[in-house]
Amino acid sequence: MLEAAGLSFDALWVAGAVGRGVAAGTRAQSAAADRLAAQPRRAARGPAARELAYARALTAQLDASAPTVVFSYADTVDDHKNLPSPLIAHLPRVAATWLQPAPASRALFASEPALERVADEHAPAWTAGAPFRGGATLIEAQSACPFQAAARFVCARTDGPMLRGLQPTERGKFVHAAFAAFWRGVRDQRTLLALDESRLAATIAQAVVAGRAAVNDALWEALPPVVAAVESGHVERLMKQWIDKVERNRPPFVVADEERRVGLTLAGHALDLRIDRLDDLGDGRMAVIDYKTGMSVAPERWFDERPQGPQLGLYAMALGAETRIAALVYAQLKPGQVKAVGLVDAEATWPGLPAPADLRRVSVADWTDAQQQLAASIGALAQAAHEGDARIVPRGPKVCRVCALMPLCRKAAVDEADDGADDTESGA
């Protein structure tokens, strides 16, 4: 307060001018000054009189330190009505509404230059014959939002420096490698059912050790030992839940292959894929299984206008007509929601999973029609990627919530600017 009284300002706001006054010093001194100020006719002598004179002089100094000066006080405190300090009683009262300053952000955005709008919806087309980068992720991204696919795999690089700790992608590698190691030793359901609980636990533990080796040593070293132990225990529990809940209760099978690498050509571009697992069902038919550590896409969504979860369809196309595929299944390995999610040629192939006739909201005549529809929709997405389709047209709000490219596409900023406008542009 003393420093402020000795300075000059363009404008000044003095807060807290209630009851006790605005004078410096103890509350008792200020209260005494208020009492004297409220009784100007009383003869004022002694320390209280000096405080009153001091308080009035200080208030006058503040009042003269700027062309515009506002003294304010809280109208109520804890539901008790307040009055202004008598020291400012002589000043004209003004309504508080006009004194509320506009947020600084409002002025900042009001001064921004007009956005330049450019309808740039095409990325450079893929070079003819060049392999597609990204594998199945490219096709999924093309369905989710064409811009996302172009930005991630054509125009930009979003893979920054390696983060410390075990990331979701690394945890996925861990799970995939652990399951591959388990089935390399067990091979079929008959052997699985012959394992008692202790032998099963030991086999799973050995597979987890092998799975850990698939993750970069530097990531394990970055984790505290207790956290690394938790990661391993988590994978052990997921494997045990999946085996007990699903594998033991399926019709007989033999694991024919794990981590099989296959190639596929789409729109003239080679695509490198890796199938997590192929099961021989005993009669020449095969089940394609893809491990998912998160939520899996329900089969109805595979046949949307913009299909979701295209990996299994891609694998079926890559295996070709010479492989008699009878089941396309995601192994959903999400804690508390471990289950099989997929589509089969007939109910008896994998009880509990739907056949084409059981699908709701979509029209699929039979198993052959299902595979043909998947191939057609995936082919259309590949063609769009080939042509450089980079429109900012996300499939839904969730696509944007989990996308790291919002600062690049600036969709949110453009949508806000377009709010209430007639145009329907979705990005710039």
Phi, psi (5° rounding) for residue 29?
-65, -45
- How many Å apart are CA 403 and CA 415, to the nearest integer? 16
Angle of CA points 195, 197, 202, to nearest 5°: 80
* Mean local confidence (pLDDT), 388-394: 92
pLDDT at residue 204, rounded to an integer = 97
Q: Provide the token pair at 80.
A: 């008790």
What is the crossing angle of helices 27-38 and 47-63, to 10°?
A: 90
Q: Provide the token pair at 42.
A: 């009383």
User: Tell me: the pLDDT tens digits for 1-29?
Assistant: 777 877 889 999 998 888 754 444 444 44
pLDDT at residue 74, rounded to an integer = 84
3-class secondary structure, 74 = coil
User: Tell me: the pLDDT tens digits for 170-208?
Assistant: 888 999 999 999 999 999 999 999 999 999 999 999 999
Percent of the chain with pLDDT over 70: 85
Asked if residue 162 has pLDDT above 70, the reply is no
Least-confidence region, from 60-74, 110-124, 243-257, 412-426 = 412-426
Least-confidence region, from 186-190, 246-250, 289-293, 406-410 = 406-410
Q: Provide the token pair at 9.
A: 């300002």
Distances (CA, A) of 34 to 17, 22, 50: 11, 9, 12
Check: CB of residue 355 under 8 Å from CB of residue 327. no
User: Tell me: the pLDDT tens digits for 221-244?
Assistant: 888 888 888 899 999 999 999 999
User: Tell me: the pLDDT tens digits for 322-353?
Assistant: 999 999 999 999 999 999 999 999 999 999 99
Report which residue type is found at 325: I
* Mean local confidence (pLDDT), 401-423: 69
Asked if residue 41 has pLDDT above 50, the reply is no
Asked if residue 360 has pLDDT above 80, the reply is yes
What is the crossing angle of helices 225-245 and 197-212, to 10°?
A: 130
Spell out a b/e string for 398-422, using b for 16 or more CB atoms within 10 Å of the CB, else e.
Answer: ebbeebebeeebebeebeebbeeee
DSSP states of 248-266 as a string? GGSSP-EEEEEEEEEEEEE
Question: How many residues are given for the chain?
Answer: 428
Check: CB of residue 205 under 8 Å from CB of residue 234. no
- How many Å apart are CA 344 and CA 364, to the nearest integer? 12
Least-confidence region, from 46-60, 233-247, 304-318 = 46-60
- How many Å apart are CA 221 and CA 293, to the nearest integer? 23
Asked if residue 410 has pLDDT above 50, the reply is yes
What is the number of other CB atoms lying within 10 angstroms of the CB of residue 173?
Answer: 18
Check: CB of residue 425 under 8 Å from CB of residue 418. yes
pLDDT at residue 37, rounded to an integer = 55
pLDDT at residue 35, rounded to an integer = 55
Asked if residue 136 has pLDDT above 90, the reply is no
User: β-strands 68-71, 11-14: how paired?
Assistant: parallel
What is the crossing angle of helices 136-144 and 311-319, to 10°?
A: 140
36 versus 289: the higher-pLDDT residue is 289
What is the crossing angle of helices 197-212 and 168-186, to 10°?
A: 130
Looking up tokens 């020449």, which residue turns up?
Answer: 284
Among 127, 153, 151, smallest CA distance to 386 is for 127
Of these ranges, 10-24, 29-43, 112-126, 285-299, the one predicted with the greatest mean pLDDT is 285-299
Looking up tokens 């799975």, which residue turns up?
Answer: 211
